[in-house]
Structure 1
Amino acid sequence: MKITNRQKMQIKRSVSVLCSCMMLFLLTGCGQSRYDMAYTVNSDVSSLRLVNIEEKNLNAEPFASDLCVVSSDISIPGIDTSKADGAGLFDVNGRNTLYAKNVYEKLYPASLTKIMTALVALKYGSMDTTLTASANVRNLESGAQTCGLKEGDQMTLDQALHVLLINSANDAAIMIAEGIAGSVEAFADMMNQEALEVGATNSHFVNPHGLSDNDHYTTVYDMYLITNAAIQYDRFNEIIHMKEYQTVYYDKSGNAKDLSVNSTNYYLQGNADAPSGITVLGGKTGTTNAAGHCLVLVSRDTSGNPYISVIMRAESREDLYDEMSSLLSGINK
């Protein structure tokens, strides 16, 4: 019987969970106490969870010693995210969740997906690798954001990542996926494996750009985990901080083509203001009809401490930035 890609991913997840269970048991130093792992890839809470069966303690809690964790909604007086389906504010260095609303609800990520695309590319790709666009870069739904790539066009992975993260170009996402993995499907498998490795177990990806698909989803908390992994790469931090980008790439005949793109982030554009004392370093926007308006930001306070904030499925762009600014004000409270 032929094993499908999805079945292969399920096997990989099962093996990864088993290894995690064995390692966690060895590291806890629990003597003869018996612990059982109440965890599946379909669990409501991302990361690993322990339940002490012998003591009948059935309250499962997230297990992530070096990460922000949360098991229920957390509010801050004066913070309003009523026009978004999910929101979270995470103190990266303090490993503390400051605000949480529906952080484990599965939602469509739209172009927030491209943070995972960049993470996989940074981990497995080489920035000076030359990528060549296939005909698939034109095979996108009507109205999708693109940078105008055509079959045979060439640019480096570094150039493609700039266009991907700054301007949210969906054709660049296709070029990156095919250049690294050979196909969109194979790259999606890499994305799902990487999600598993960072603990984002309530996510599933089927493409590198985030255009709508019923089987393509994530959560607010998983976007924190994915972004937290991405900011470990200096190149990611440099790119998301850029307001604009100019470069030159080449068509299939070797002719030079100029490209200039601007950030889709209103904070970087100067069209939205962060609260006093908060500096927005950058982030990623995402918008589709199914996903609504989404935004992940990396910010810092006056002491230089970093924070990751997430808003998903806001009703409008205006609501998205109003509620994100409200959320960021929680850093100083």
Structure 2
Amino acid sequence: MTYYKQKGKKKNIKYFVLVLSSLLVCISAIFLLKNIMDEDITKIKSPIKSQDPVISNNINKTLNTNSLYSSNAILISLDNNEILLDISSNEKIYPASLTKIMTAILAIENSPDLNKLILLPKSMFKQLYSKNASMAGFLPNEKVEAIDLIYGVLLPSGAESSISLANSISGSEKKYVKLMNEKAKELEMNDTNFTNTTGLHDKKHYSTVKDISKLLKYALKNDTFRKIYTSKQHTTKATNLHPNGITFQSTMFKHMDKSTVNKGTILGGKTGYTEEAKLCLASLAKVDGKEYILVTTNANGSPNTEQLNILDAFAVYNKIP
């Protein structure tokens, strides 16, 4: 009887060990599956970054970059060219209407007479209307001064203004784009290629937020560009089709109740949007007596939704120590 009892006990022990081993395997599998699911959920909730955020030690104490809506961002102090925030700044993006910063600065540099009248040809409008391009409000066969077209490029983001300037200066948009790419090369915008003056989507039309920051830094050195870029609104001179002129509003300022931030003010900005580029913004602010530029791209939404690109600008500028 003793022998059979011992044998039974051994069988029970073996059975217990087998059950325990199986249970541990199941628990391990459950934890592994949970980790995989959590990783997938994280990928869905936040865009994949090509690089980890690089943040100045000072701003790192106050800014939570995970709270930003934009997947690409760069913040630069114009006082000493220090990069205070860098989130995937070298990652290829579609610049949308941030393109018009280049269009505008080249128009200023290549127009010997900014009061010259430029005819907006009727043939140009049909294609722009079909592509739902953003327009300043000029009409076919309208004659407009070059300076007012440049305001039309930067404030209401007018595609008709951009192409009219290109045609007047270079003879065609294609030839003007060649000037844009030559200037990009001069500014060492090595990851940029332009195919148009408007930022309308094209897979071969791309840049990075770092390259756009180089462009904006350069353009802001021009007094005429800076004056237009920092304007909240502008009324054009009378034209043959608008005897009272047209009053433009900045596409950035019209979405802002105020422009003040902690210890400073947002001075100006250029917005951008296409379905592929999402919401973009290149802005300038003065905080505690120093100027900063911030370029952000790829925030969800559209011009008809909450402007998350502008919310990001306030979030970043408010956290500058």
Alignment TM-score, normalising by the size of structure 2: 0.75
Question: What is the letter of the counterpart of residue 86 of structure 2?
Answer: A
Question: What is the letter of the counterpart of residue 306 of structure 1?
Answer: E
Is this contact kept in 2: 1:119–1:230, CA < 8 A?
A: yes
SS in 1 for 2:279: strand
TM-aligned CA deviation for residue 258 of structure 1: 2.5
TM-aligned CA deviation for residue 133 of structure 1: 1.0
Is this contact kept in 2: 1:86–1:101, CA < 8 A?
A: yes
SS in 1 for 2:138: coil
Aligned to 2:28: none
TM-aligned CA deviation for residue 256 of structure 1: 3.4
Supply the distance in 1 between the matched residues of 2:52 and 2:76 (Cα, whole angstroms). Answer: 14
Supply the distance in 2 between the matched residues of 1:138 and 1:330 (Cα, whole angstroms). Answer: 45
Supply the distance in 1 between the matched residues of 2:97 and 2:189 (Cα, whole angstroms). Answer: 17
SS in 1 for 2:281: strand
TM-aligned CA deviation for residue 164 of structure 1: 1.1
Aligned to 1:114: 100
Aligned to 2:234: 245
TM-aligned CA deviation for residue 273 of structure 1: 4.8
Aligned to 1:311: 296
Matched, 1:261 2:275: no
Q: Per-residue displacement from partner, 1:27-49 (whole Å, max 9, x unpaired)? A: xxxxxxxxxxxxxxxxxxxxxxx
Is this contact kept in 2: 1:285–1:294, CA < 8 A?
A: yes
Aligned to 1:215: 204
Supply the distance in 2 between the matched residues of 1:313 and 1:164 (Cα, whole angstroms). Answer: 21
TM-aligned CA deviation for residue 272 of structure 1: 5.3
TM-aligned CA deviation for residue 329 of structure 1: 2.7
Q: Comparing both structures, which one devotes a greater share of its residues to strand?
A: 1
| Unaligned segments of structure 2, at least 5 residues | 1-50
Is this contact kept in 1: 2:262–2:287, CA < 8 A?
A: no
Q: Which range is displaced more, 215-224 or 125-134? A: 125-134
Instruction: Decide which of 281, 285, 295 is 1:299's aligned counterpart.
Output: 285
Matched, 1:225 2:205: no
Is this contact kept in 2: 1:272–1:321, CA < 8 A?
A: no
Aligned to 1:79: 64
TM-aligned CA deviation for residue 136 of structure 1: 1.3
Q: Comparing both structures, which one devotes a greater share of its residues to helix?
A: 2
Matches within 5 A, 1:1-333: 73-75=53-55, 76-77=60-61, 78-80=63-65, 82-126=68-112, 127-134=114-121, 135-140=123-128, 141-251=130-240, 256=243, 258-266=245-253, 270-271=256-257, 273-303=259-289, 305-316=290-301, 317-332=306-321
Aligned residues: 258
Q: Per-residue displacement from partner, 1:213-241 (whole Å, max 9, x unpaired)? A: 11111110001000011001111111122
Determine which structure has more spread, i.e. the larger CA radius of gyration. 2
Supply the distance in 1 between the matched residues of 2:125 and 2:168 (Cα, whole angstroms). Answer: 12
Is this contact kept in 2: 1:137–1:149, CA < 8 A?
A: no
| Unaligned segments of structure 1, at least 5 residues | 1-70
Alignment TM-score, normalising by the size of structure 1: 0.72
**Cα 1:321/1:157, change in 2 over 3 Å:** same
**Cα 1:150/1:321, change in 2 over 3 Å:** closer
Is this contact kept in 1: 2:154–2:270, CA < 8 A?
A: yes
TM-aligned CA deviation for residue 157 of structure 1: 1.1
**Cα 1:93/1:177, change in 2 over 3 Å:** same
Is this contact kept in 2: 1:79–1:330, CA < 8 A?
A: no
SS in 2 for 1:298: strand
